[in-house]
Amino acid sequence: MARWGVVGGGVLGLMLAHRLAGAGHDVTLIEGTPELGGLTAAWQIAVPGVDGAPDETVTWDRHYHVTLLSDRRTQEMVAAAGLTDELHWVETKTGYYGTDGELRSVSNTMEFLRLPGLNALDKLRLGGTIVYGSKIRDGKRMERIPVDAWLQRWSGTRTFERFWKPLLRAKLGDAYRAASAAFIWATIHRLYAARRSGLKKEMFGYVSGGYARVLDRLGATLTAEGVKLMLNAPVRRIRRDGDQLAVDTDLGTERFDEVVVTTNSHLAADLCPDLTPDEAGRLRAVRYMGIVCASLVLRQPLAPYYLTYITDPDTPFTAVVEMTAFVDPQEMGGHHLVYLPKYVSPEDPLFDASDEEVRAGFLPYLQRMYPTLRDEDVLAFRVSRVRRVFAVPTLGYSGRMPSMTTSVPGLHLAGSAQLPFATLNVNDTLGLVEELLP
Ligand SMILES: Cc1cc2nc3c(=O)[nH]c(=O)nc-3n(C[C@H](O)[C@H](O)[C@H](O)COP(=O)(O)OP(=O)(O)OC[C@H]3O[C@@H](n4cnc5c(N)ncnc54)[C@H](O)[C@@H]3O)c2cc1C
C-alpha cells in the first residue's frame, strides 16, 4: 500500500482519489480552495427580493454543465455519489442568432437545412464534412491542419463563416485561430457518440441540485472510504525529500510516495522545482484559454434553447446558455438562469473588469437579441473568472505535450494539457484516471 497525495479537488482529483482508495491505497486529497469541485463547483447568487418579497439565494454551478448519454465515466461518478436515480434526461433545443437579427431553432436536421444564407450545395458539403470527420479514426492526422483551413476546405468559406465559426467561437473564443483540426474531430466524435447511444435526439442530463449535490455526496463517499480531505490548503511546493515527496501547503507539510498534480500545467511547473528545464519548459509552453462567465438570474425565460450560437463576430460574449431551458426552474426558486460565457486568452483585460463593468458590456447586446428583456428583469448578475481553463490543441500538439510521468520519481501530472484529442468536458477528463492508476 502506497501513500498517495492528490493535488486538486476537481472531478479528476476526486475520482482518482476514489479509485486509489478502492484499490487499498492511503490517499490524501489536497484542495486549495474551501470547497471541492474546481471548474464544476457551485456557488450562491444573491437575489434581492422584489416588491417586498424576501431576499433569496440561487445555488447552481458556477459554469454551465450538461452530461451526454454517452458520458459513461461521468455517469460512473454520479453513481459513486449515489445519485444515479436523480440524473434527469431532457431533450434540449439549440438556437441560432444570425446576422439578420433573427433567432431560429436549429434543433434537428430539417431546421438545420432551413438555415438561411446557405444553398443546397453548401448544406450538402456541411453534412459531408460531418460524416467524413466521423469516419476519420486517427485524430493525430488532424493535428497537422489548422481547424479553420480544414473546415473551409471541406465545407466552403460561406458555411465556415455562417456555421462553423460561431460554433468554434462558442467553444474556444478567438483561440480557434490557433487550434488544429483535432479539435473539431474530437467535437464531431463526441456528438456522434452521444447520438449513437441515444435516440438521435439531443438528450442532456443533470442531477437535481446540480454539481453542488454531486460534489457534496462524493466528498462524503471519499471520507467513508478513508480518504483524508484537506480543504483550504493551497499547495506551495512539491519537492524531493529522501525517497518521498514533500508537499508544502498552508496547513503544513505532508509526505507521500506518489503525488499527482491536477492543476493547470503552468502552475504545476511553478509548484515542482525538481523538474528538468525541458519538462518545465513544456509545461509553461502550453497555450490555455480562460473564461469570463456571467450568471444572470432573470425574472422570465429568454427562449426555449439551451444553447444559442451567435454568428456576429463582434459580440461581447460567445454564446447564450439558458440553463433553465433544460433544468427545471424550480431548482432556482422559480427564477431563470442564463450564462453568458466569453472564452478569452489568460492575459485578456476582461479579467480585470468588475462585475458591473462586465454587466455594462454584456447586457445591451443581450437586450438586442431579446428585445423584451428589461433592465429590471435581471435580478442578479455575477461573474466567474478563470484564467487557465483548457489547453488549446494547437498544431502538432501531441508531439510537444508534457508527459504525465516525470523525471522526479513518484511525481505525476494530469489535466487538459494531457488531452490532445478531447474537447472541454468531464467525461474525457476522467479518462485520465485510468492512465494514472498503478
Ligand atoms: C464554462 C464551462 C462549461 C463547461 N461545460 C461542461 C459541460 O457541459 N459538460 C462537461 O462534461 N464538462 C464541462 N466543462 C468542463 C469541466 O468543468 C472540466 O473538464 C472539469 O471540471 C475539469 O476538471 P479537473 O479536475 O481536471 O480540473 P479543475 O476543475 O480545474 O480542478 C483543479 C483543482 O485544483 C485546485 N488547485 C489549483 N491550484 C491549487 C493549489 N496550489 N493547491 C491545491 N489545489 C489547487 C483548484 O482549486 C481546482 O479545484 C465546462 C467547463 C467550463 C469552464
Of 333, 429, 409, 60, the residue nearest 213 (C-alpha):
60
Q: Is 180 in the pocket of ligand 1 (CB under 6 A)?
A: no
The residue whose CA has the least distance to atom 1 of ligand 1 is 63
Hey, which of 60, 338, 339, 426 would you mutate to test ligand 1's pocket, going by the most ligand atoms within 8 Å of its Cβ? 426
Hey, which of 39, 231, 238 would you mutate to test ligand 1's pocket, going by the most ligand atoms within 8 Å of its Cβ? 39
Given this model, what pLDDT does residue 195 score? 67
Q: Is 291 in the pocket of ligand 1 (CB under 6 A)?
A: yes
Sheet containing 235-241: order of strands: 235-241, 244-249, 252-256
What is the per-residue pLDDT across 340-391, written as a single tens digit (0 to 9) for each?
999 999 999 999 999 999 999 999 999 999 999 999 999 999 999 999 999 9
Across 23-54, b (16+ Cβ under 10 Å) vs e yields: eebbbbbbbbeebbbbbbbbbebebeeeeeee
Given this model, what pLDDT does residue 232 score? 98
Contact between residue 176 and residue 64 where contact means Cβ atoms under 8 Å apart? no
Q: What is the pTM of this model?
A: 0.96
Given this model, what pLDDT does residue 201 score? 63
* 3-state SS, one letter per residue, for the chain: CCEEEEECCEHHHHHHHHHHHHCCCEEEEECCCCCCEHHHCEEEEEECCCCCCCCEEEEEECCCCCEECCCHHHHHHHHHCCCHHHEEEEECCEEEECCCCCEEECCCHHHHHCCCCCCHHHHHHHHHHHHHHHHCCCHHHHCCCEHHHHHHHHHCHHHHHHHHHHHHHHHHHHHHHHEECHHHHHHHHHHHHHHHHCCCCCEEEEECCHHHHHHHHHHHHHHHCCCEEECCCCEEEEEEECCEEEEEECCEEEEECEEEECCCHHHHHHHCCCCCHHHHHHHHHCCEEEEEEEEEEECCCCCCCCEEEECCCCCCCCEEEEHHHCCCHHHHCCCEEEEEEEEECCCCHHHHCCHHHHHHHHHHHHHHHCCCCCHHHEEEEEEEEEEEEEECCECCHHHHCCCCECCCCCEEECCHHHCCCCCCCHHHHHHHHHHHCC
Q: How far is the CA of 298 from the centre of ligand 1 (A)?
A: 26
Q: How far is the CA of 39 from the centre of ligand 1 (A)?
A: 3
Rounded to a whole number, what is the distance in angstroms from the first to the last CA of the chain? 11
Of 132, 163, 160, the residue nearest 146 (C-alpha):
160
Q: What is the C-alpha separation between 50 and 323, in angstroms, rounded?
A: 22
Q: How far is the CA of 67 from the centre of ligand 1 (A)?
A: 15
The residue whose CA has the least distance to atom 20 of ligand 1 is 426
Q: Is 61 in the pocket of ligand 1 (CB under 6 A)?
A: no
Flag residues of the chain having pLDDT under 70. 194-202
Q: How far is the CA of 38 from the centre of ligand 1 (A)?
A: 4
Q: What is the C-alpha separation between 41 and 57, in angstroms, rounded?
A: 16
Q: Is 361 in the pocket of ligand 1 (CB under 6 A)?
A: no
Q: How far is the CA of 212 from the centre of ligand 1 (A)?
A: 14
The residue whose CA has the least distance to atom 5 of ligand 1 is 65
Given this model, what pLDDT does residue 111 score? 84
Q: Is 424 in the pocket of ligand 1 (CB under 6 A)?
A: yes
Given this model, what pLDDT does residue 220 score? 98
Q: Is 151 in the pocket of ligand 1 (CB under 6 A)?
A: no
What is the per-residue pLDDT across 111-161, written as a single tens digit (0 to 9) for each?
877 888 889 899 899 889 989 999 999 889 999 999 999 999 999 999 999
Q: How far is the CA of 426 from the centre of ligand 1 (A)?
A: 8
The residue whose CA has the least distance to atom 27 of ligand 1 is 10
Q: How far is the CA of 112 from the centre of ligand 1 (A)?
A: 32
